[in-house]
Structure 1
């Protein structure tokens, strides 16, 4: 199959984050096996979705991971010119959900497999395709934990998030949590008999704002925009009617951390404010939704120099969004971001990748394989 045909098949699977992904996993497995790769399908604890790990070359030698995610964000935005889960070509543009983020990279890697299988690789190339990245990299930790049983510890990882095929050396880390506060309902005319969960949550929100203000004062890393860690409350839900004391309120909060700062630790002052409510009769639930560390690769790292040589582009120092690369780095694997497409096209109607970008990504993967030949 051509890269465009593979991309059409991938886009055709509505592998929306948080849903079962058996169909796209089966397709990727079949493409890999036809090319001669050894494949392991790794079910996650959710029971209805899985990671996939495939290898071309000797598994007992440290090699390189090409990492991508099979899930996409929902496609409910108004403004789609066609079915988001049917690839549509218009000139050089290939439209569809996930074309840039990041099924274009998956298609390029899969299209390059026959060439990679035909050369004699001294070091293996591993395909690590995960699920639920769009929910905070939920699948990748399970895949990374399984690596010792799948191959020799890889020496490098390239995460193919859309970057215009320009390598990116660093990104912020992230932690997200859901706070649930339970109070006691009643008629609003007798607030003394109830426990107002929204009022209690207001104290937690105040702690969140104070922490956000504190973080803006540093530490600073000029590679990022903004150059400091950040914290925000993203959602807030509570109450049934104006004359009912609200007995439940839920908020979701996230922190984004510069390199060297633990993002989960940034949420602790907010967690402490929430837990203090227990002493006043409220129930409190604190659920960590996602947590991944920052990425930071040295400018002169061999992986950065290799990507600069192959792409002809000086690596970008940093971006503020996050990827699975931080998780691979935390596992002791040098990591970098480099993939086709543009992040500015992602998560919006009429997402697209250009045919030339897809072809360039295939050529890059094949050229990378040539560097690993005996």
Structure 2
């Protein structure tokens, strides 16, 4: 009873990396975790989203306070596997003790560390006070609907604090920007390019829209003391199919990084208003706004026992006191803590360097992965004991 061996801990991470959950197939990950937890007498529930996608929830302890720990089961595509030094879906250790594989850092090592921490605590009869609730999510890398589902179904209602183990061992994140993905579609009428007056070029109003968005963004002066400025970028543009045909369709996609002062709702209104403005000057234009991903910013003060404990324990288990910071990135916290307020204890802190997310030859250092398991166990118990 008590501790799993190092080999067992590495095997669990290897098993998870070996499941190709590229923006899908989280059900297989959930089933693996459910089986693993059951071997240690921890009950869990799989909540199916589609035939191949499912959230998983598990708890140890009982009563209040409730500490939620959350990790996503999906990974991004490895891209061209031939460019990897090792097979992307086979955990491979190099001579420097780095464990390579897609998701090794982002974020199957964090998810595995959570699960192993819960197993080891449970076998020691811990926690004595409160509940640790695992929320393993689907779809974090694209739309975040796993976290949205957990929130909608009430799994965050009684939660007193949240830890997300994205790769961030170099900093403890307690606030981050929001994110929006917006597609602007322009419809026209196709004719031969020698007779443009008989059709309508879908590219022209779209170019006008992009220019107006850029001008509007440059005039926004709102900023946040922690998160800085909001960010707007047109990142994809497509239109036309043949050089001598007037295009009847064109589209542009935008990524927007939001802050509380220039939030998702305000940018939604801005995009819709600019489409109306283009219509005034070009009555035949037909612009459609499709916001297919919207995750609000997370703004907490970082002044709480959870942050303090994480900093103190990082010095003990990682050999240095990790600074607390805000981040331009986005996590499932966007959809999990939407109504918790600025004083809610939230951190993003987990094994792996931030720079390893989504890269070729992604890795987590074995030592860091193992140390975070011990760190999490100490953090969970200390936080719950001091909150009772």
Tell me if both proteins adopt one fold, taking TM over 0.5 as the criterion: yes
Match of residue 291, structure 2, among 285, 288, 292: 288
Match of residue 318, structure 1, among 326, 329, 334: 326
Match of residue 5, structure 1, among 11, 14, 18: 11
Which ranges in structure 2 are unaligned for 5 or more consecutive residues?
Answer: 316-320
2:89 counterpart of 1:85: yes
C-alpha contact (below 8 Å) 1:3/1:358 kept by paired residues: no
Spell out the pairing of 1:288-367 with structure 2 (5 A cutoff): 288-312=291-315, 313-332=321-340, 334-367=345-378
C-alpha contact (below 8 Å) 1:144/1:331 kept by paired residues: no
In structure 2, relative to structure 1, the CA distance for the partners of 1:261 and 1:47 (3 Å cut) is farther
Partner of 2:187: 182
> What are the Cα deviations for residues 67-96 of structure 1, in whole angstroms up to 9, with x where unaligned?
111111100146211210111111311000
In structure 2, relative to structure 1, the CA distance for the partners of 1:47 and 1:331 (3 Å cut) is farther
Q: CA deviation at 1:314?
A: 4.6
Partner of 1:49: 53
In structure 2, relative to structure 1, the CA distance for the partners of 1:248 and 1:257 (3 Å cut) is same
Q: CA deviation at 1:283?
A: 3.8
Q: What CA RMSD, in Å, does the superposition of the two structures yield over aligned residues? A: 2.1
Spell out the pairing of 1:231-250 with structure 2 (5 A cutoff): 231-250=232-251
> What are the Cα deviations for residues 155-212 of structure 1, in whole angstroms up to 9, with x where unaligned?
0000111111642121111112112221111111111111111111111111221122
Q: CA deviation at 1:319?
A: 1.4
In structure 2, relative to structure 1, the CA distance for the partners of 1:49 and 1:105 (3 Å cut) is same
Which ranges in structure 1 are unaligned for 5 or more consecutive residues?
Answer: none
> What are the Cα deviations for residues 6-47 of structure 1, in whole angstroms up to 9, with x where unaligned?
110110011111x23221121111112222223122222x55
In structure 2, relative to structure 1, the CA distance for the partners of 1:207 and 1:32 (3 Å cut) is farther
2:151 counterpart of 1:170: no
In structure 2, relative to structure 1, the CA distance for the partners of 1:207 and 1:42 (3 Å cut) is farther
C-alpha contact (below 8 Å) 1:239/1:245 kept by paired residues: yes
Matched pairs, number = 365
In structure 2, relative to structure 1, the CA distance for the partners of 1:89 and 1:238 (3 Å cut) is same
TM-score normalised by L of structure 2: 0.88
C-alpha distance in structure 2 between counterparts of 1:278 and 1:221, whole Å:
33
TM-score normalised by L of structure 1: 0.91
Q: CA deviation at 1:369?
A: 3.5
C-alpha distance in structure 2 between counterparts of 1:114 and 1:21, whole Å:
21
Q: CA deviation at 1:282?
A: 4.0
C-alpha contact (below 8 Å) 1:230/1:257 kept by paired residues: yes
Q: CA deviation at 1:347?
A: 1.0
C-alpha distance in structure 2 between counterparts of 1:43 and 1:126, whole Å:
18
Q: CA deviation at 1:246?
A: 0.4
Partner of 2:318: none
